[in-house]
Structure 1
Amino acid sequence: MNKIPIYFFPGMSSTSLIFERLEWDTSRFELHFLEWLPCKKNEDLITYTQKYIPLIQQKNPILVGVSFGGIIAQELAKLIDVQKIIIISSVRSNREFPKRFKWAKYTRLYKLLPTGGVEFILHLIARYGNEKQKRRVELYNRYLSIRDPHYLNWCIRTVLNWDQKEDLKGVIHIHGTKDEIFPFKNIRSAIEVKGGTHAMILIKYKWFNQNLQKIILNSINEKES
């Protein structure tokens, strides 16, 4: 039996380590965990996404993307044939953005965000914060380790200016009801994860271990029937 190829795209600032708690039947699935590629200052989203095409070795793969990785997965699906797209803690179009995103885009105040100070702030918390704050910094250091200001600025600008007005076909959306980045009230059609936050790929990993493989297999069966 041919294995089902799946390519994973992490969220902004994160690496493929965010998927490490997920369990898979490797006799059925062939897993490929991708990382963020270098970006140029004024690079557009299409040009950036094209860089991933040589990394996709199998035909008609399934793409799984978290947060901004979900946007990348959807953009990549416009360029290559895919079997299915699964986005987690993400959006299917800019119509699902919260109002603050739209406000930030049109005022361009996002350019004033102090992305270069992230490391300094985390260092202060790690040194002077309480135990809960220090544990949170340890998690950030493990799972949100990409903090180059140039990269962060590019990501923020690219997300805010994503020009996707309609939902793509073939997208399965999984979203938490407590998502603080993309509020659930703005999400129009998704598999609901009760109490899931934006980081639910880590915190709600048991839910994903119970459901994600079934969701993928059911979607394939529906397509073939």
Structure 2
Amino acid sequence: MITTPVDTTTPLVLLSGLAADARVFTPQKIAFPQLHCPAWLPPHRQESIDEYAKRIADTLEEGPCIVGGASFGGIVALHLAEHVDAQAVILIGSIKSPSQLPLYARCARPLRSLVPFIPIRFLQLLARPIATRAIKRHGPFAYGLACQFRDSNPVVFRWSLSRLLDWSSTPAVSCPVFHLHGDRDWTLPLRYTDPDKIVAGGGHVLSLTHPDEVNAYINEILHKNLSK
């Protein structure tokens, strides 16, 4: 059962993760009518996360809002909070600073120059067998992720991966940051983070696998924001 929001007036902006789109927030879009999930903009060559976040901010309506995101989208949301009137930042299966990147990501930093050579189109072709109706019936979660990766923009994917590997500065966010994380997140393992709330049995894509917990957490933050 999806929780009814306590506040439907405060704009809520959530950014999807690497190789994902607004479909990852489908349960939240049902529960929160004020939710806006901006599409990933085509990045400029060598554009920093902060410069990119500023361009996203220019596409949003002015005024107080709550921003957030899943995974890489949460990282961008931290930078976005510096360019909008953010009342709070919500991180869903994400991290607050470069120091919380897992060991494998930090070890891969010297290989960032190889990112342009990743055969994204070929990998998307490999994902097609998973994005079929048969898989949808028996494994809807895998089907959804495969569809998002299949439809993702290779240019955006490469830029996002490069920025993740060279992310080095923690944004100076002036509003509260709320962090929800799954204890079975193998992409951004819990042991490297310090979330405010942990979802038992939750993996990396909490918004789809544990929508009730995510919606309740967003409700809690909306309530805190409303009662200021």
> What range describes the TM-score normalised by the shorter chain of this pair?
0.7 to 0.9
Paired positions, count: 218
- Decide whether the 8 Å contact of 1:92 with 1:168 is kept in 2: no
Partner residue of 2:191 out of 182, 185, 191: 185
Q: Corresponding residue for 1:10?
A: 16
Shift in alpha-carbon separation, 1:105–1:2, aligned structure 2, 3 A: closer
Q: Give 1:214 deviation, angstroms.
A: 2.0
Q: Give 1:153 deviation, angstroms.
A: 1.1
- Decide whether the 8 Å contact of 2:15 with 2:68 is kept in 1: yes
Moved more, 98-107 or 208-217: 208-217
Q: Which runs of 5+ in 2 are unaligned?
A: 1-6
Q: Corresponding residue for 1:21?
A: 27
Alignment of 1:96-175 (within 5 A): 96-108=100-112, 111=115, 113-125=118-130, 138-165=143-170, 168-169=173-174, 170-175=176-181
Q: 2: distance between equivalents of 1:132 and 1:160?
A: 36
- Decide whether the 8 Å contact of 1:16 with 1:35 is kept in 2: yes
- Decide whether the 8 Å contact of 1:14 with 1:145 is kept in 2: no
Q: Give 1:13 deviation, angstroms.
A: 1.6
Deviations 1:178-221 (A, max 9, x none): 11111000012331111111111101012223332123212543
Q: Corresponding residue for 1:83?
A: 87
Q: 1: distance between equivalents of 2:178 and 2:142?
A: 32
Give identity over the alignment, percent: 22
DSSP 3-state at the match of 1:181: coil
Partner residue of 2:57 out of 30, 53, 76: 53
The one-letter code matched in structure 1 to 2:9 is: K
Moved more, 189-198 or 41-50: 41-50
Deviations 1:36-94 (A, max 9, x none): 11112322222211211222214121002111111111101122321111011111001
The one-letter code matched in structure 2 to 1:11 is: G
Q: Which runs of 5+ in 1 are unaligned?
A: none
C-alpha root-mean-square deviation of aligned residues, in Å?
Answer: 2.8
The one-letter code matched in structure 2 to 1:53 is: A
DSSP 3-state at the match of 2:208: helix
- Decide whether the 8 Å contact of 1:5 with 1:58 is kept in 2: no
Q: 2: distance between equivalents of 1:191 and 1:154?
A: 30
Shift in alpha-carbon separation, 1:124–1:39, aligned structure 2, 3 A: same
The question of 1:72 aligning with 2:79 is answered no
Q: Corresponding residue for 1:211?
A: 217
